[in-house]
Structure 1
Amino acid sequence: MPGWTGASLADSRRGADLTRQGENVGDDKEIRSFRLDVPDEAIDDLRRRIVATRWPSRELVPDRSQGVQLATVQELARYWSTDHDWRAFEAKLNSLPQFTTDIDGVEIHFVHVRSRHENALPLIMTHGWPGSVVELLGVVGPLTDPTAHGGTAEDAFHLVLPSLPGYGFSGEPTELGWENGRIAGAWAELMDRLGYTRYVAQGGDVGAAVTDAMGRKGPEGLLGIHVNLLAGAIGLKDKLPAESEQERAAHDALNTFTTDGFGYFLEQSTRPQTIGYSLLDSPVGLAAWMLDHDTDSYYKMSRAFVDGQPVGGLTRDSVVDNITLYWLTGTGASAARWYWEFGRFQAASAAAGQPPPAVSVPVGFTTFPGEIWAAPRSWAETVYPGLAYFNEVDRGGHFPAWEEPDVFAAEVRAAFRPMRTS
């Protein structure tokens, strides 16, 4: 089989093979079939590198305050090099309809699963960092076939799951400017190219920022959005209510993140190229960097490896599937560059004194208790005046679709239910 095909797919991608079907590859609007088939040599190389890891000494504290704990990463590495089955993940991904198409000079990969139910509502969902389409696979069934997962046919969605530019199987941007607004425009073009004239959008983490931008741009056909991270809270921190106990707790969490949990964000928003050299050279270094995102998610993932007790969908296999996807595609640096683009755009907007435009569509928001900052309703209403839907659920964290797919799917159904007839 041929290697990665297309000028936008970097030669550095570690030998993963791609089958693309269709003619006229140069046609900007063509949609091509995608199938993943990684050569054995790439998997063998990965395992050799894991075994050859040079380990640091053990941390001097009993928690993660010095970083990802040695016992966690060593057990992850052991499992990764001896027990993990990449072919099982390949088969899972290849069982879903996947495609690529060129938008604004970047080849965009996406999963596209149409529901069997009549009048299903098209939904585009955007993943985050250090996630990928892996974090969303658990909700494909519940959202496209709700009658098989405790819902009704009226709750069905046609699901579009794109890989962000520079992430996973999408191409890497070769020019500056791929911030949230540009990605939002690409997603609107993708939905138009798929023939969807009415649709909704959802996102968390980076996906929340992109989905927010979609709501503010208000492309034709977008009926509403749902997000599960209040991405605008950082910029509005001093303006957010802090009177109730819940509001003060959210402030404490936000302050803790921006002082103690902000290392990856600061490095990627200022020096993504620098960290990229390590992320593309050491698989264990990549794994540790990806685990060190937020306290709640870290301890849940660590528990899956050290104690063998996964929390929901955060299993050893799914965590390693996600890390392996980054490794095989060589996207550690290109994914990190989104943070640089985000910081650059935010700084330019602040310097120009330009507040973001108002959201022009209904907004739904769900607070998950393990989120980095679990936003109270007052915060969501500050960022989104006229909030159309709000709910606080009793479990789930920063990656709710991954961790608690059934809870997450129920929230997406509830948030978009009133918008189906608008």
Structure 2
Amino acid sequence: MNQTENVLLGVSGGIAAYKACAITSKLVQRGYDVKVIMTEGATEFVSPLTFQALSRNPVYTDAFDEKNPEKIAHIDLADWADVTILAPATAHLLGRIANGLADDMLTTTLLATTSPVYIAPAMNVHMYDHPAVKANLQTLDSYGYHFIEPGDGYLACGYVGKGRLEEPERIIDVVEEHKTKRQYQPLSGKRVLVTAGPTIESIDAVRYFTNHSSGKMGYAIAESARDLGASVTLVSGPVTLEKPHGITVKDVTTAEEMYNTVLNDYDEQDIVVKAAAVADYKPVEQVENKMKKQSGPLSIEMKRTRDILQALGERKTKQYLVGFAAETDEPLVYGRDKMARKHLDAIVVNDISRDEQGFKTDTNAVDVLTAQERHETIPLQSKEAVAKQLWSILLEEM
């Protein structure tokens, strides 16, 4: 890691503020330049002079105390920081930053910074489990903040449970690990489009045709591309997954909507991974009202939907195009055939007849075939791990 990196440490008013002293000291020992912002509550636990001595920099406590008349302090600090750490982050601080408040030096600076922000919460176990705190954590996650989970153990209030501030060494290690990942961004400057989830084709006002896709594999591929530095667009069918931060998500319902959305964005993409399970057929007629039950059998005439992957292959110019094939019989044979027919650069073949892989599972195992006749098998593991290995293979091919 770059040993001249600027670390902004925000300290809020909890008994764990004393651990922030150790964080400051250890960061300085590792070669970082550290500046500390303290809330008013934090100064009740630790003196600003302590952090000044440890960091060898001025400590900031008052938004109206402009130490340099040539600069606006909270903007200058926000721009200066390469990374920001909040430790300890109390329930009160989480609530303020989740709601965009800027009522002191720390919260004002947080609104202005574009650096990665790492939050290390510390509070009573019941406070940490409160619905309001959980909601604030979810909001901050959607903003793209990173979290360093509190540990289990004896708390200052006398309780034993989750809520203890993570140890200083571990906090620093997490930030350094993330920094290493951020430095490896081979997809930086690339535009990646991923499709995920099922599509829904209505029969009437109540009923529809769909499939078992959960969208988990496509979402994992999109998030992995984001972590590798890409600008990612995720075209998602109806799923119950949370929208990933740092990714442009475009929600669609039908195969036709997905077709139009993907084709509209296709020309500006560098890489397209079509992981969605799109309906091949839809009803010829869609009834506006609910169809009534009949005494005899019901027949519904179906027609083909437009083939998204075929259209992408035919229109391909500079794009690297990756398809998916979910098969139950002779998956590799059908996968190779699909790759050739649809002019793909690579195809990910998924044998959904096997346990713990395919639709609605948290794990997967796939075979990756490329137009350059490469064949790689990714064994059963989490879909997130599969996505990372898939990108490693695709990057080597590209």
The alignment's TM-score, normalised by the length of structure 1, stands at: 0.31
More helix by share: 1
The structure with the larger Rg is: 2
TM-score in terms of structure 2 length: 0.32
Which has the bigger relative contact order, CA under 8 A and spacing at least 6? 1
